[in-house]
Amino acid sequence: MGCDDKIESDSYDFFEDIENYINKVNSAQNNGATIDNPSDCDNFSTSSQSKFTNSTIAKNTCVELVKLYKSINSLKEMLTGNPNYKNDCRFFNYWVNFKITKSRSNEYHCVSDLYNAIESQCYIDFPNRLDVSVIYDIKKDDLYKMNILYNLYENYIKLKNIIDTDSRLEKQSLLPHSTACCTDYIEAKYICNGGNNNNSSTFCKKLGTFESKYEQLYQKFNEKTSEFSDDLIKLSECPNTKIITTAVTGSIIGLIPLFGVLYKVS
């Protein structure tokens, strides 16, 4: 029996503050919250080993989710009246889906069930359990699109930090992150291509917001271009692509393996 996956009208709303959430993830994993009872994740990995690729991955997934939960105050303290609470829940649900989906042994092990198992095992670290409506399995196509947006912003933040670095310091290379942005942007534009009837989707609107932010970043780069040894690629100048426009049925996920064929540098 499959998992009861869904997407809600406001599931993408956390992207309004995605830079803050990406920073929270990085902080939580690098030097953020500690786990009150580390053995709980050991016990979880033992009891749930068969549901993940291996016990080490099961434990790491548990640890990372506990750390992120504890770094988001509105969740940890159950501050439901906090203006950020709803978006904090939406982001945490996305991150739970992202981490568990890439770590579980197969898709029949539902994200919500595995998260509930972590929450139950690590009850000391989860003094205030989230409402059952907060964590749900996100539809596969939408999770894929959210991952693209997350990757775009992750590289955008890295580019922004490099560009904002004091001019007296040696600048890191822009090209690796700029190229990575292009790779994800090409996939995103394919999804939002007019022929796919997706231009009005929430994902495409969020992509439009990213495009505006990236353009502002490019203008800032242009004012400081003499400080850099390489270039920042404009989104409009990402490698030109020729897309096979023959109608193809199936989900976004079904098309993923075809991207290597669909995109060819002209």
- pLDDT of 168-181, one tens digit each? 666 778 999 999 99
In contact, 71 and 32? CB cutoff 8 Å: yes
Q: Please indicate whether residue 168 or residue 24 has the higher confidence score (pLDDT).
A: 24
Q: What is the residue extent of each domain of the chain?
A: 13-121, 141-262
Dihedrals φ, ψ of 104, to 5°?
A: -70, 160
| CB contact burial 61-77 (16+ within 10 A = b; e otherwise) | bbbbbbbbbbbbebbbe
Cα torsion angle, 146, 152, 155, 159, sign: negative
CA distances from 45 to 93, 115, 163, 168 (A): 21, 12, 42, 48
Please give the DSSP secondary-structure letter assigned to residue 254: H
Quick one: pLDDT at residue 38? 73
| Choice among 73-77, 162-166, 176-180 with the minimum mean pLDDT | 162-166
pLDDT higher than 70, residue 85: yes
In whole angstroms, give the CA distance from residue 118 to residue 125.
Answer: 10
The answer on pLDDT for 64 being more than 80 is yes
Interval 214-246: pLDDT, tens: 999 999 999 988 888 778 999 999 986 544 333
Are 214 and 149 spatial neighbours (Cβ–Cβ below 8 Å)? no
Average the pLDDT over 108-123 and give the result.
94
User: How much is the average pLDDT of 155-163?
Assistant: 95
CA distance 147 to 94: 9
